[in-house]
Amino acid sequence: MTTTPVEPALARLAPVGLAELIECAALQTRVDRKYLVPAEALPHLLEQLTPYARALDIDGGRTFLYRSVYFDTPRLASYHHAAYRRRRRFKVRTRTYVDSAECWLEVKISGARGSVTKHRLPYHPQDCETVHPGRDFVDEALARESFGPTAAGPLDPILVTEYHRATLLLGTASRVTIDTGLTWWYAGSTLRLSGLAVVETKTASAATPVDRMLWRTGLRPARISKYATGLAALRLDLPDAPWRRTLRRHFRGAASPDLSHRTEQEASCV
């Protein structure tokens, strides 16, 4: 299991097991709200959540290392659907839970009013950088969601992300994830986001206590996608309108003209 600076605060929360978390709040269709929160603010936030939240606990660990590989067409159809704010968008990735070596192939569909539907297939970790063994599953999921020929054709690995995640159960139906230590890799370049966490609330519809706590501190949901925002920060030639404010405010140097020539970048909160 992975140890991170938020572990002491997480340890003070009541535990919840994985089976109960899945039973209570699998939320494969949900509304997501994402916030960029200074890492130093997390202990106080977790302290406020003590009456409401339980932390996912697996064999005594409460933060876990995730690795995702994102796939796209040669013309980056998935990225461009997001960049041009298409009402319905798709995302294809593998997600590996590094601590347990468990892997899934996932197809995420974003629909109207911020709803997200996720289709998942158990996957072999050795296949995490290819969709070939699960291509029929991907095609069936996209066809079920009525995506046309723009989602057809080759799907290549484009971007890799890693981060540490803690998961909280609020009540019996809402989840919150806290991601720290975010890192992106693209075509030999690395981008690290230090000093910030991505806090995401996942609920059927209504705001959670976490949303309301963050609103009271002046934080509002941010436009950020681990795939699209990370790729926009590393590919200056791509359209980035939906995430431009996030890039300018939180990714120092993301607009630097020589970014594409650097092998490693450190992004930090401004």
Q: What is the pLDDT of residues 25-76, one digit of tens each?
A: 665 556 789 999 999 999 999 999 988 899 999 999 999 999 999 999 999 9
Q: Residue 269: what pLDDT?
A: 34
Would you say residue 216 has pLDDT above 90? yes
Which residues, 6 or more positions from 157, have their beta carbon under 8 angstroms from its beta carbon? Answer: 69, 70, 71, 129, 130
Check residue 1 and give its pLDDT.
61
Q: What is the pLDDT of residues 241-265, one digit of tens each?
A: 999 999 998 885 533 333 433 344 5
Q: How far is CA 168 from CA 18, 53, 224, in A?
A: 11, 6, 20
How long is the chain?
Answer: 270
Distance CA(199)–CA(178), nearest Å, equals 5
Task: Specify the pTM.
Answer: 0.86
pLDDT digits (tens, 9 = 90+) for 134-153: 999 999 999 887 776 666 68
Q: Any idea what the Cα angle at residue 142 is, between residues 139 and 233, rounded to 5°? A: 105
% of the chain residues with pLDDT over 90: 65
pLDDT at residue 200 is higher than 60: yes
Q: What's the whole-number mean pLDDT along residues 109-131?
A: 87
- What is Dmax (Cα atoms) for the chain? 50
Give the domains, in start order, of the chain with CATH numbers: 7-218 (2.40.320.10)
